[in-house]
Structure 1
């Protein structure tokens, strides 16, 4: 599958897969920046994507940022719909007591493109029974 990527700034870095077995491609910071201690910020990528119809681009934190720096995506998972053509930005949340600095070109997030079935939602009076039923949080055990 080919996905069209548009550079909105000459210094934007086109994403690539870091290894042959990588599930996601990396998204890079366009500019230097920082996220203050116990704060949040937004980093530009300088890129827009033409996600194919029937697909979605999901943006995730990089595991090293969470484990080493306490930094994650501000919205947990970014959802880029197939009809969005604006710049993809990376919202970061710094949960640590230390400022998080990044440089232009640093890998700040990772993304994948997946198919998304469009479903028909049908209102009903009853749902089928299951063993779990209405058991919520923690109801299936440890």
Structure 2
């Protein structure tokens, strides 16, 4: 299979060159270069520490990693995101924490099950105790800690088709017509 060359410029010393996890993977892993904490209901920008030069006629789509989506309440905002061929700034990912905000007073039991510091290393969730946390503190449950070095999302290089718009007086008639947003009903 012929690879399309995408030029990579490191903007942060710890930036990782995107790599495919398997020979036939469609997406390449994108790795955080900073620790980012995302509380429930918040959106954060996760920097990746590099810029790219994508060939004309292509884009990089930023998509979720299935393991992160399955194991957490983290979602790639505006998925898929797009990195355009003419963009030369740092590539970053917008991540939403879709968990509902709730609080708990730390007891030994809550502390043992606290969700404050999850690490997404190699797609596996591990629980880390927040520094300085003791039984007199309150915590926000389902707050996630994306750590520097975590594979947080994936990118897919995709061809881009360009449209040419032509104004007309009428459009061709179809069976559907202008029906939208549930016009065919809801199946049970």
TM-score (norm 2): 0.71
- The answer for the alignment partner of 1:133 in structure 2 is 177
Displacement, 1:21?
Answer: 1.9
Where in structure 1 are there 5+ consecutive unaligned residues? none
- Does 2:43 align with 1:40? yes
Displacement, 1:128?
Answer: 0.8
Contact in 2 for aligned 1:30/1:46 (Cα 8 Å): yes
Contact in 2 for aligned 1:56/1:113 (Cα 8 Å): yes
Aligned-partner Cα distance in 2 for 1:119–1:74: 25
- The answer for the alignment partner of 1:117 in structure 2 is 161
Contact in 2 for aligned 1:6/1:48 (Cα 8 Å): yes
Contact in 2 for aligned 1:132/1:140 (Cα 8 Å): no
Displacement, 1:20?
Answer: 1.4
Aligned match of 2:151 in 86, 98, 107? 107
Where in structure 2 are there 5+ consecutive unaligned residues? 101-141
Displacement, 1:129?
Answer: 1.3
Aligned-partner Cα distance in 2 for 1:96–1:67: 13
Matches within 5 A, 1:9-28: 9-28=12-31
Pairwise CA RMSD of aligned residues?
Answer: 1.3
Higher relative CO (Cα under 8 Å, sequence separation at least 6) belongs to 1
Displacement, 1:84?
Answer: 0.3
Q: Deviations over 1:84-119 (max 9, x none)?
A: 000011111001240011211101111111111222
Displacement, 1:76?
Answer: 2.4
How many residues get paired?
142
Aligned-partner Cα distance in 2 for 1:75–1:120: 25
Displacement, 1:138?
Answer: 2.2
Displacement, 1:75?
Answer: 2.0
Structure with larger Rg? 2
Aligned match of 2:52 in 38, 49, 53? 49
Displacement, 1:140?
Answer: 3.9
TM-score (norm 1): 0.93
Aligned-partner Cα distance in 1 for 2:13–2:71: 31
